Amino acid sequence: MSVQKATNIHWHAGNITREERWAALKARGCTMWFTGLSASGKSTIASALEQHLVSRGVHCYRLDGDNIRFGLNKNLGFSAEDRAENIRRIGEVAKLFADSGCVALTSFISPYRKDRDLCRELHEKDKAGASGGGGMPFLEVFVDTPIEVCELRDPKGLYKKARAGELKGFTGIDDPYEAPLKPELVLKPERMSVEESVVACLDLLAARGVITR
């Protein structure tokens, strides 16, 4: 292997700090955590927000069932223990994305307050991690669609199966959904268009200094 003389590579021993990273990338990371019932509209809104941010050149990435349940978390089932571990891993991965300077969007029912609060804590308390610096914004977005509306939509027929007893432990039917007590944002998809919801998310991101409008 011929070795090229490196004249323009400068580095310091040790890790780059979060501040150095975000400043160099002209980016600020955060996690926007969408929570709500099945068929509430979480993924539609998060996907539209992702498209908008990416089209503006903002590194943004969405974690959802498609890329998590069949990948990182494919060895988890639906027991209480596995559900908690599912959300914990998603929280940890979102935190890594946020640390990297990316706007991480997560789109999971995440029905239990305790699990979501753990993810919030992971972000807000990560002040002295590998890359140093202050905690990271964790923005909880409650997609507040009434269960009657979700059940009418039922795009995958899951509510029907749950009502028929073919699906056990289905959120909103025979398992509780614990609504956030102090979400950073509440969206009402049955009264707002997808575009209006995206604007509300952008306003929140701008208010927190994550993006500029």
List residues with catalytic annotation. 107
With residue 150 as reference, give the H or E element that holds it. Answer: helix 147-153
Q: Which is nearer to a copy of itself, 11 or 212 (CB)?
A: 11
SS3 77: coil
Task: Cite the beta strand spans of the chain per DSSP E.
Answer: 30-35, 60-64, 103-107, 138-143, 185-187
Q: Which is nearer to a copy of itself, 150 or 200 (CB)?
A: 200
How many helices (H) and strands (E) are present in the chain, helices listed first? 8, 5
Provide the minimum distance between the beta carbon of 90 and a copy of itself in the complex, in angstroms, as a whole number: 10
Part in contact with a copy of itself (CB under 8 A); list of ranges 34-42, 139-147, 171-179, 193-201: 193-201
22: left (phi over 0), alpha (psi -120 to 50) or beta: alpha
182 binds a copy of itself (CB under 8 A): no
Residues 141 and 183: beta-carbon distance below 8 Å: yes
Q: Rule CB under 8 A: which residues touch a copy of itself?
A: 1, 3-6, 9-16, 20-21, 24-27, 44, 47-48, 50-52, 54-55, 57, 59, 61-64, 66-67, 71-72, 75, 85, 89, 92-93, 95-97, 99-102, 122, 129-131, 186, 192-196, 198-200, 203
